Structure 1
Amino acid sequence: MEQTYVDCLAYFGVGGAHPGGLQLTKKILSKEAIDKTKFILDAGCGTGQTAAYIAKHYGCQVTSLDYNELMVEKAMQRFQRLNLPIKVIQGRTEHLPFENASFDIVLSESVIAFTNIFLTIAEFKRVLHQNGLLIAVEMVQEKSLSKDELEEITRFYGVPRLLREHEWHNVFRHAGFKQIHVELCDLQFDENDVNNVPDFSISEKMNDTLFEILKEHQRLTKKYKEKLGYRIFRCFV
């Protein structure tokens, strides 16, 4: 089977692969009233870096979900190593294995764009409590792209489409979210802060294809840095 960008992230075990990494996550969550009574879903949890931070820092009930089997395995290993009581489930965001109104907050960091966005967002709303909150960090098309550019990006990352900010807003609104707040965050990183060091859990069996995928990601990031950005969406039920 041909390996993909998501496979690359899984094998390298990249924690905080979303734009801004854990530093952005901390800043986002610091604005919310989170305490031990909250139930939080980390949807598309990857290797579990964000979920581990939430559980340790806030002491609340955290559930993690990811479709990639290797990501789930590495998340479980992280939680066991840190002795954190975080439930980990392998599953799709388009068909969440949870009852209605199960969570106070759903956190989705660079996940929705890689799925069927309409089904995923509808599921996020379904599992949120009344007055619940979806926090989504998502890729946004900043400037017009040619047909070839669009194809290059969507093919490599395996995303079905690229949305502009107003298109994301419309999709969230159509799903039934009553308030959508959009934030553009430009973080300045402190290189001396050890908490901002990239987090990796590299697999033993690696091949040249995975390194080529990583190299291509770096090339595309540089090539489209003026045309692709990201936003923080806070969507209230």
Structure 2
Amino acid sequence: MNYTYLDCLAIFGVGGAHPRGLQLTKEFLSREKIDETKSILDAGCGTGQTSAYIAEQYQCNVTSLDCNKIMLEKARQRFSSLHLPIEVRHGSTENLPFDEGSFDIILSESVIAFTDVSLTIPEFKRVLKPNGVLLAIEMVLEKSLSKDEMKPIVNFYGVSQLLTENEWYHFFKRANFKQVSVEKFKLDFDEHDVRNVPDFSLSENIDDEFYEILEKHLHLTTVYKGLLGFRLFRCCI
């Protein structure tokens, strides 16, 4: 079998694959004006860790969308066990199954890079309400690399391209987001802090190949440390 990195995340049920995980998400959500009247889309929700937090913390309307059925089933199990009325939808960010102007906030955590960026970003813009906000955490190139230098990362993660901060910015502006702010954050964190413990929802009978994929991921993050970073893009209509 030729499993992918995203298959690996689904089988291990990784709750927050981006650096600093849920703690970082809590930090930037706390800056937004969120109450029970807001409608939020967690695009690429994975196992639903962030969706569950938002629903519990803010008592607002949360919709969770993912293209991976294994992830969605784990999300449904999480929401059911917590008795949370979160709508779960199977679908692609490149062609969202929602009407125009459906959401006040869209949260996208390490998702857009794994899709056709030129399709996903305009779709996010389409389903946001007037004055809506897109919060996107994305991998960025800290400096330009040749195609040969990028090849191991592109092939392993299954992304179509790697973008610099400036290239990401122009994609968001091209989709007619009026304001785009960019925040760089430190990737260092205290691994002994219980708030930073990774969230997992393991499948049964995990194939050895998935452990090999996980090891390759750790290897690549070491090799490309300093060349790959992350940014929080806050995009307003």
Q: Same fold per TM (> 0.5)?
A: yes
Q: Following the alignment from structure 1 to structure 2, what is the Cα–Cα distance between the partners of residues 150 and 188?
A: 24
Q: Following the alignment from structure 2 to structure 1, what is the Cα–Cα distance between the partners of residues 127 and 190?
A: 36
Partner of 1:143: 143
Indicate whether 1:232 and 2:232 are aligned: yes
Q: CA offset at residue 157 of structure 1?
A: 0.2
Alignment of 1:1-237 (within 5 A): 1-186=1-186, 189-237=189-237
Q: CA offset at residue 162 of structure 1?
A: 0.4
Q: Following the alignment from structure 1 to structure 2, what is the Cα–Cα distance between the partners of residues 129 and 147?
A: 38
Give me the identity figure in percent: 64
What stretches of structure 2 of length at least 5 have no aligned partner?
none
SS in structure 2 at match of 1:232: strand
Q: Following the alignment from structure 1 to structure 2, what is the Cα–Cα distance between the partners of residues 212 and 231?
A: 28
Tell me the number of residue pairs that the alignment of Structure 1 and Structure 2 aligns: 237
Q: CA offset at residue 228 of structure 1?
A: 0.4
TM-score if structure 2 supplies the norm length? 0.97
Q: Following the alignment from structure 1 to structure 2, what is the Cα–Cα distance between the partners of residues 173 and 83?
A: 39
The code of the aligned residue for 1:82 comes to: L
TM-score if structure 1 supplies the norm length? 0.97
Conserved? CA contact 1:40–1:104, under 8 Å:
yes
Q: CA offset at residue 211 of structure 1?
A: 0.5
Q: Following the alignment from structure 1 to structure 2, what is the Cα–Cα distance between the partners of residues 187 and 159?
A: 21
Q: Following the alignment from structure 1 to structure 2, what is the Cα–Cα distance between the partners of residues 4 and 188?
A: 27
SS in structure 2 at match of 1:51: helix
Q: List per-residue Cα deviations over 1:106-133 (Å, max 9, x = no partner).
A: 0000000000001100100000000000
Q: CA offset at residue 188 of structure 1?
A: 5.3
What stretches of structure 1 of length at least 5 have no aligned partner?
none
Conserved? CA contact 1:94–1:120, under 8 Å:
yes
Q: CA offset at residue 20 of structure 1?
A: 2.0
Q: CA offset at residue 143 of structure 1?
A: 1.7
Runs of 4+ in 1 over 6 A off after TM superposition: none
